[in-house]
Structure 1
């Protein structure tokens, strides 16, 4: 029996969907949104309506392939800390995401949309390898201030998919390897993978290298002064740091293809900012390598920004002494979601209850 799986991946600037028959991808769609348009979305319900409309259009377009759906699988979001693998989407999960109890990201609306679609087809909806997967070592949780604990929020889905692919390239089992994996995309996270678990990593919203639109880690005292020297609300400061920081704050654009082209065409400022981004990524790769006691089998670069020759060459130059650098460009998130759903449908992985 073949299973039909609908996979949804809502990101900060895009919507990606695909239909699979078992492992085989039948159709894929991607909508990339104008940042000015999505910056006008203010609330969970705004984002919900926005992406619900987008997905409804895609479902109508491919309704002939969707006579039946056996499972809907959504990218996970900012829930309470959970284990890796499949989780049934239920009202408790949706409520936590709606209330942003554990943080806000546009992906928070994905599970609710998946649950609504599953209701129409009379099937189950799950998330798989959520970014809130928490496998961190206890030592890694200590922040330096009692009452504040470091939390797990990485690109778990794509990182684990890339790490498993890297292990296969090395002729190894992911569960018996050690990797430092850097997901380089609209968000950037760098994590230490030890024998199948992510034991430490930069938080995708509040730590790590700057990204096309996020600041990453910042000098603490300067942030304190910023917060107390402005009339902006906490929400406005947060938006500045998470939506209008990073490359955008320096170059006025989120478009990294344009930044790369400008750098190649002789724009010294664009080239400098790319080098600075590579420098910060490299420092975090080095930091995560120490979590593995320097015994990484490889450094793995993945995500769409790993297509940037300038960025990748700068990183290789700085971290090549740690371990071989494997570049696995792009994202395999939709395939990873489908593979996870298929494993659940076949009973190879037990679906957990949130």
Structure 2
């Protein structure tokens, strides 16, 4: 049976939309947004609802389809309560939790709301796949040395899980039998220990954990952060942006463009090279830490995300880590493809469609 899927992935500066017929992508587009023009008059991402919905419906009409042609609507998952891995029905409880902002605030929550509203109008099902809050931690992964402060599972789960399945296929293994370290490298980093189908430990790069990244500060000395916090020079919002958004390479080199930085290095900029190599070293150390989670039994290391296209980064990390396990490359984020894949696995009955509570 043919299934026509409308897929949306709302980011902070883009709206990605695609139409799939089963596994075949018929149409796909990325609409870029300038925050200073598109959203200047909007105080919160939830005020973008009409703007984003119109983009999605216009895309459908431009592709010569009607909304009533679709069997399922799929959105990238929102930051909500901890969930199991897999495919979920988007329901009112999920959208309400996204709107509450208790678990984070991201345009993907708006995407889930749009998907549910459209699906309700059409009397079809809205789905999401491997939201960033899926939690498969072992107990040892949760604790810090500060009572009431615990490590949270929050990472690029959609791409991590999709790459896990692809890697298992390359190795002629079942994902549920695979031990792998998967390294997602983009504006933020997630280095995950996949143990027999579960991510038992991963850094939360969003809130300052793990290696620095193009726009994330990574793990910081807590005492120094406290001194900044009580200096009366910064607001909470300013400090948080220094951790997430304006940290990492942006803070140190004034850019998040790794091609630009690699050109600086090629032109002889020793400071740029030292900082870039420091980021690479921190990624390698995180891979080493994940090796401990897997007790040294690592089938493969996989690099994914936009920075996996960089030969410089891949080669330098491999110099540190290739002794651990063979290196495999899956460059790019491939979020639309991963949403389609996860949805179709559930629609076909290979995986269950779960209910969010």
TM-score with structure 2 setting the length:
0.92
Q: What SS class does the counterpart of residue 64 from structure 1 fall into? A: coil
Residues 274, 310 of structure 1: 8 Å contact kept = no
How well do the aligned residues superpose, as a CA RMSD in angstroms?
2.1
The equivalent of 2:203 in structure 1 is 202
Partner Cα distance (1:118, 1:340) in 2: 18
Cα gap change, 1:173 to 1:348, in 2 (>3 Å) = closer
The equivalent of 2:160 in structure 1 is 159
Could you tell me how far 1:65 is from its partner in structure 2?
7.1
Partner Cα distance (1:107, 1:113) in 2: 10
The equivalent of 1:315 in structure 2 is 317
Task: Give per-residue Cα distances to partners, 1:131-170, cap 9 Å, x unaligned.
Answer: 1110110111111212111110011111111121111111
Partner Cα distance (2:39, 2:281) in 1: 29
Residues 46, 107 of structure 2: 8 Å contact kept = no
Could you tell me how far 1:336 is from its partner in structure 2?
1.7
Aligned residues: 354
Residues 212, 246 of structure 1: 8 Å contact kept = yes
Asked if 1:109 is matched to 2:110, the reply is yes
Asked if 1:134 is matched to 2:135, the reply is yes
Asked if 1:260 is matched to 2:265, the reply is no
The equivalent of 1:28 in structure 2 is 28
Asked if 1:80 is matched to 2:81, the reply is yes
Map 1:38-117; keep pairs closer than 5 Å. 42-64=43-65, 68-117=69-118
Could you tell me how far 1:12 is from its partner in structure 2?
3.9
Partner Cα distance (1:131, 1:62) in 2: 30
Could you tell me how far 1:32 is from its partner in structure 2?
3.8
Unaligned runs of 5+ in 2: none
Could you tell me how far 1:34 is from its partner in structure 2?
4.3
Partner Cα distance (1:256, 1:37) in 2: 26
The equivalent of 2:294 in structure 1 is 292
The equivalent of 1:282 in structure 2 is 284
Task: Give per-residue Cα distances to partners, 1:226-246, cap 9 Å, x unaligned.
Answer: 111135332332223211111
Residues 205, 216 of structure 2: 8 Å contact kept = no
Task: Give per-residue Cα distances to partners, 1:62-117, cap 9 Å, x unaligned.
Answer: 24375511111111121110111111112211121112111233333221122133
Could you tell me how far 1:190 is from its partner in structure 2?
0.5
Q: Which has the higher mean CA deviation after the structures are superposed, 242-251 or 262-271? A: 262-271
The equivalent of 1:123 in structure 2 is 124
Cα gap change, 1:38 to 1:174, in 2 (>3 Å) = farther
Could you tell me how far 1:53 is from its partner in structure 2?
4.3
Cα gap change, 1:344 to 1:177, in 2 (>3 Å) = closer
Map 1:216-231; keep pairs closer than 5 Å. 216-231=218-233
Residues 60, 66 of structure 2: 8 Å contact kept = no
Q: What SS class does the counterpart of residue 93 from structure 1 fall into? A: helix
Could you tell me how far 1:252 is from its partner in structure 2?
1.9
Q: Which has the higher mean CA deviation after the structures are superposed, 185-194 or 39-48? A: 39-48
Q: What SS class does the counterpart of residue 31 from structure 2 fall into? A: strand
